[in-house]
Amino acid sequence: MWHINQLNGYKIKFLGSCFLLLFSLSSCHHPKTINTSFYFWKTVYKTKKTETAWLEHFKVKSLYVRIMDIDRVENRGEPSPILPILFKNKIPDSVKIIPVVFIVNEVLKGLSDTGIDSLADKILPFVKAKIEQAGKNDFEELQIDCDWTAGTRQHYFYLLKQLKNNPIMKHKKLSVTLRLHQLKNQIKSGIPPADATMLMCYNMGNLRAYGKQNSILEMSELKKYLNQNISAYPMPLAIGLPLFNWAVAFRNKEYIGISKKIKFVDLIDKNQFIFIGDNIYKAATDLPDFGLNKADEIRWESISVDDLQAVATYLSPLIKADNLTVIYFHLDENLLKPYHYTDLEKVNQILH
């Protein structure tokens, strides 16, 4: 299929039919091949039937597995692996592993070039050892996840270069995550020296602001960042979509954190919570198990199928590539419960 820009590049000599051809080409949709994948973001990998079933159903070729975070312990000392993954089982043979390393932005500040060199030299052998624990001999792609800023850009890009130049990465692809603000502000953020990116279409709103917004995904927020810039980005882009939910807690309208323990079933328990309206619930009593006092509020953020479809509908015409990888965050049997295969199939269909 010829890309529309290429067609424009070849000037139409025969006005009539060629013009018609151009017109029809520019106005018709060209289908894309959608590759579905998932992130695995837990610290222990254990084979779970449900999760394996989803991998099989969508013929997932590669699983993006978080290997570790890189941070300083208690904000001091050298950067080091935090909570590296433990493989209690091997990843299915049919699924390749794409190791993902999350780097806390703060770590990049104050690192000298020598420090960055050392970090790069440590990350790769560690990753390699870990993928062997996953039952794999090698990997084809490494992904680095970092919400870099203008202040850390130089160090981050240098780290990426050093990773790419490491012998372990020979003939391998380096991809990076890209947040919406980095897509929008390319001059300030720069273009990272990588082979591909994953555009994170989630966590776009103001988590800490009190209100009924959905900070994970809101179309109005998405549209502030995305337009034709997505197709103009000078690197192949995969798309990340959310499948998770969380309970954002407020005390006297001040953000106090995300509760890892509260599930939706807790919120609809009238002995524990009072529904205020929209997605807000108020603690009916002190709930020490959840770390909540009476009258603390929870904003429940989740992603409905409609939300996913809306995003897909918006994104589809903006993406011109022939192949598109959609990576869902993240593979967890509990998070997958609200969804059916057909829900994601529909999303893929819209994107197609």
Site size for other proteins, by CB under 8 A? Answer: 16
Q: Is 122 in the site for other proteins (CB under 8 A)?
A: yes
Structure tokens at 78: 């050298």
C-beta closer to other proteins: residue 129 or 268: 129
Q: Is 105 in the site for other proteins (CB under 8 A)?
A: no
Q: Is 115 in the site for other proteins (CB under 8 A)?
A: no
Measured at the CA of 43, the angle between CA 49 and CA 52, to 5 degrees, comes to 15
C-beta closer to other proteins: residue 127 or 183: 127
Please state the closest distance from residue 122 (CB atom) to other proteins, in A.
5
Query: Binder to other proteins among 4, 25, 62, 81 (CB under 8 A)?
Result: 81
Q: Is 293 in the site for other proteins (CB under 8 A)?
A: no
Q: Is 21 in the site for other proteins (CB under 8 A)?
A: no
Please state the closest distance from residue 142 (CB atom) to other proteins, in A.
15
- Window 160-199: residues binding other proteins (CB under 8 A): none
Region from 84-92, 200-208, 218-226, 305-313 binding other proteins, contact rule CB under 8 A: 84-92
C-beta closer to other proteins: residue 16 or 288: 288
Query: Binder to other proteins among 20, 21, 129, 232 (CB under 8 A)?
Result: 129
Please state the closest distance from residue 29 (CB atom) to other proteins, in A.
46
The residues, any chain, with a CB within 8 Å of residue 129's CB and separated by 6 or more, are none
Q: Is 86 in the site for other proteins (CB under 8 A)?
A: yes
Q: Is 84 in the site for other proteins (CB under 8 A)?
A: yes
C-beta closer to other proteins: residue 77 or 167: 77
Instruction: State the binding string over 273-292 for other proteins (x if CB under 8 A, else -).
Output: ---------------xx-x-
Q: In what order do the strands lie in the sheet with 254-259?
A: 254-259, 246-251, 297-301, 280-283, 273-277
C-beta closer to other proteins: residue 97 or 201: 97
C-beta closer to other proteins: residue 126 or 202: 126
Structure tokens at 287: 């709930």
Instruction: State the binding string over 130-149 for other proteins (x if CB under 8 A, else -).
Output: x--x----------------
C-beta closer to other proteins: residue 167 or 288: 288
Rounded distance between C-alpha atoms, residue 228 and residue 315, angstroms: 10
**Chain residues in the site for other proteins (CB under 8 A):** 73-74, 80-81, 84, 86-87, 122, 125-126, 129-130, 133, 288-289, 291
